[in-house]
Amino acid sequence: MRQLTFWLLLAVSAIVAPASAQTTSSQQRDNAAGTLTVPQATKTPEVPSTVPVDGTVNPDVYIVGPSDVFGVNIWSVPPISLMLPVTPEGSLVIPTVGEVPVADLSLREAKARILRAIGKKYLAGEPTVTLVAPRQVIVNVEGHVRHPGKYTGVSVLRIDGILEEANRARTATVVPERELTPAFDPTKSSRRHIVIRHRDGTSSAVDLDYYVATHDDRDNPYLCGGDVIIVPTIELGQQEIGIYGAVLNPSRFEFVDGDSLSTLVRLGHGFTDRARMDSVLFSRFDSTDGRIIERIVDLRALATTGNFPLRSGDRIFVPERRDDRGDFRVTVEGEVRQPGVYPIRKAGTRISEVLRLCGGPTELAALNGASLIRKGLDRTKAEAERLVQMRGMVVLADTTYVRQENESRYDGERVDVDFVRLVTQHDSTQDVAVLPGDRLVIPRKVGSVYVFGQVANPSQIALADGRSASYYVQRAGGFTDRARSGDMVVIKRGSRQWLDPGETAVEDGDAIWVPKERDRDFSYYLGVAGQFASIITTAITVVLLVRK
């Protein structure tokens, strides 16, 4: 008999479904005439097209309420699919089944109750129930937020989401009742002492920092209609605890009664892979005598003997293990057999080791022009250094000179190394240690010396070993009439130093500069004559005074 009733109900539903479209116009006429009509059960209620959620809904935490929309499916032949909203009275009205109270139940409990009610009516088929669209709820936000007032949100939105909305520019969904002054300070909004007052008179605590660390739903629950969210004002400098060093989130946090050492470790998101958990420094300020009490804690035994309650002001410092691993490398450029980037140790790798790695200089390498270039001066720090120098009442001319010198250091600083002595004579005093980021540059031999300035034919002159600077000047056509031959200099290829020809030998790639006689007008010579006359007059005066 029950099976016959089931098949009759299916036949009736098949007949009624096509007729539902025909009854729409009659329902509209009844509404216009003031007659209250009950909406069809199979009509899909208006729900948001997109619902912002931070993950799947936890059925043990989500509380069902009016306007939640459930999808009820009975997988029989033919299948039955219904979209049913929870009524304002908190019930789900299922055609042919009846009214099922679901308000204030957890989602898991509500689904179990609905399935039991369907199972009593439909013996065949496997029914399923799922939450299709969460309801819209209104909550009130009070306390230290930028825009206190009433807010509308989806019931799967958590407390931190509605507080984020209350602390930024209002959107169309916000209906503020009052505003704080423009001097709102977000750092004074509590994150660990937030209180929710529910409609039934109970209260619950919210700890957003702990939720971020553990994702425990109890510390950041879903919104419920009628909730009042209260955000206290706090002063971090008065009630705080801190964790620093080798943790993933070193910071200070509000102190909450019941906090322990393990709580603080969780707030710090745990340790890094280099943390020395056996040597953690615990610090506590003793307000009775003003002393700082320190002790070494082994956090490896945190689950047993290492866990203990904290007080406001307590801090822990997690040291790191030394790690000399890293992206330490040096770049070799120019005339070597295998130019490129080579690994080095953090400290202690020498030039000879790098040259061995790259195969050494080629036959065309100009060792006299080779250089080791180190990372240059930081431009951002150069300005700060200049300001410090000005505080010391440095002479302007000296300051200008120092600035010019610093500008030449931006692209790199040369390390004093004689590569000729290092490579050919194996002089260990020149085998300096390289540092990460150094560049080893070995140029190519050019086989010439460049002569320019006041010579008849400025040009590259073929290198002649052992020849003096005068030889190259003669090969360049000799001095011009305006040349200051006594001030001729040799510019070294490697160091770019300007040296007197008698101080150095002319080598491959060097340059010889011959300056020009300065143009002097009549006033210059008149001034020189005046100075000479002044000196003679002073000398005669001194002689006369001595005689007297």
Q: Provide the CA 368 distance to its chain's centre, in angstroms.
A: 45
Domain co-membership, 114 together with 9: yes
Task: Please check whether residues 168 and 206 belong to one and the same domain.
Answer: yes
Residues 9 and 107 in one domain: yes
129 in the same domain as 6: yes
Query: Which residue, of 318, 347, 378, is where some domain finishes?
Result: 318
Q: How would you write the pLDDT of the chain (548 residues) with one tens digit per residue?
A: 444 344 433 443 443 344 333 333 333 333 333 333 333 334 444 444 556 677 788 899 899 999 999 999 988 777 888 999 999 999 999 988 899 999 999 999 999 999 999 988 887 778 899 999 999 999 999 999 999 999 998 888 899 999 998 988 554 444 455 544 456 788 889 999 999 999 888 999 999 999 999 998 889 999 888 999 999 998 867 789 999 999 999 999 999 999 998 899 999 999 998 999 889 999 998 888 888 999 998 888 765 555 789 999 999 999 998 877 788 999 999 999 999 999 999 888 999 999 999 999 999 999 988 999 998 776 666 666 666 666 665 565 566 666 666 666 667 788 989 999 999 999 999 999 999 999 999 999 999 999 999 999 999 999 998 899 999 999 999 999 889 988 999 999 877 889 999 899 999 999 999 998 877 666 766 777 888 888 888 888 888 888 87
In this structure, is residue 399 part of a structural domain? no
Only one residue has tokens 């423009």, namely 182
CATH code (residue 14)? 3.30.1950.10
Whether residue 129 sits in one domain with residue 188: no
Q: Distance between CA 310 and CA 303 in Å, rounded? A: 15
- Confirm whether 437 is domain-assigned: no
The closest of 414, 413, 418, 431 to 351, measured between CA atoms, is: 431
Q: What is the pLDDT of residues 120-157, one digit of tens each?
A: 888 777 889 999 999 999 999 999 999 999 999 888 88
Asked whether 449 and 463 are in contact (CB, 8 A), the reply is yes
In tens, the pLDDT along 493-523 reads 877 889 999 899 999 999 999 998 877 666 7
6 shares a domain with 122: yes
Same domain, yes or no: 10 and 123: yes
Q: With 0-12 CB in 10 A as exposed, 13-18 as middle and 19+ as buried, what is 309?
A: exposed
How does pLDDT run across 405-446, given as a tens digit for each residue?
Answer: 666 666 778 898 999 999 999 999 999 999 999 999 999 999
Does residue 295 form part of some domain?
yes
Whether 148 and 222 share a structural domain:
yes
Residues 146/123, Cβ–Cβ less than 8 Å: no
Residue 113 structural domain: 2-133
Which amino acid, 80? Answer: I
Is the residue at 367 inside a domain? no
Residue 427 falls within a domain, yes or no? no
Dist. CA 485–CA 134, nearest whole Å = 95
> What is the number of structural domains in the chain?
5
Handedness of CA 32, 36, 38, 43 (dihedral sign): positive
Determine if the peptide bond prior to 458 is cis (ω within 30°). no
> 266 and 165: one domain?
no
Alpha helices, H only, 312-391? 351-357, 379-391
Q: Is residue 340 part of a domain?
A: no
Residues 178 and 286 in one domain: no
For 175-239, the three-class secondary structure string (H helix, E strand, C coil) is: EECCCCCCCCCHHHECCCCEEEECCCCCEEEECHHHHHHHCCHHHCCECCCCCEEEECECCCCCC
* Of the residues 318, 352, 387, the one at which a domain ends: 318
Integer Cα distance of 418 and 60 in angstroms: 76
Of the residues 133, 153, 184, which one is the last residue of a structural domain? 133
User: Residue 330: beta bridge partners?
Assistant: 342
User: Which tokens belong to 174?
Assistant: 């916000």
Together in a domain, 187 and 91:
no
In a domain, residue 413? The reply is: no
Q: In this structure, are 198 and 272 located in the same domain? A: no
Which pairing describes strands 511-514 and 448-453: parallel, antiparallel, or unpaired? parallel
Tokens of 368: 């006299």
Domain CATH code at residue 217:
3.10.560.10
**Is residue 386 domain-resident?**
no
